[in-house]
Structure 1
């Protein structure tokens, strides 16, 4: 199986927040932002997998700052880990007010995509080779995030989540009298 560097999946997507994208308070609608994030994440995953991908999960997306009408939204996406048939993609969203240029991170999330072939069967994906310290940290911690997703989806018992046990056991010992 081939392998790719994380940077090969890097995607930057820009969108202008127009009136049709906003709610009555002139803030970007959350659903519109999730749609844009899904597109950017899928492009990143497809660049890594060299295949069509489908969205398998979206981790917690919290809205830190409202994005106003007229703002420029920049979405950055990059694969953080490749598993057997799926990849995890980290997305970071910035909002830049125009005019003025103040730029803030408004959202961050991890999306999971599964690669499929022309018959909609899952297919193996290339291994990911992290290079930078940040890429290596995200690569390593992806196993914990994956286990948490599988536990929350009911696909993995907490007792079988070895990486989560490593995190939770020290916490349990601290709370015992």
Structure 2
């Protein structure tokens, strides 16, 4: 009997979204895989930054809506890195994944075998390394790197929330 990755949410509730992500990315076309990974990372960066900033209208205005300064995945990842909420390695990997996602999002006939995409995938530091008779493929590199990064960041909002910013008293 085959069980879905989403079933992991029953035994490990904190991994429910990750299980659903695995099901989705594995069922997708190459373009879909890049877009799903990008969307999941964007969602996580939003949650991570939101978990740190003071709750309220000003935070939402920064993170969502037309022309919001932190509305893009790249801006959210950059602010998360500068606030120490994600590591430099995680930030760089998120940027590489976002570049691949953007190529797929803005191109008509894009594949993982395109030189630009393949070159970016070779640069992914969190990809599973081929072993034995396994051959390297850009899609496998991309998918494994995206899964590794997303799994790394999956619980980060909960940890970040423990250090949420708060109002302080400042000397006059």
The TM-score with structure 1 as length reference comes to 0.26
Q: Which has the higher strand share?
A: 1
TM-score computed with the length of structure 2 as normaliser: 0.27
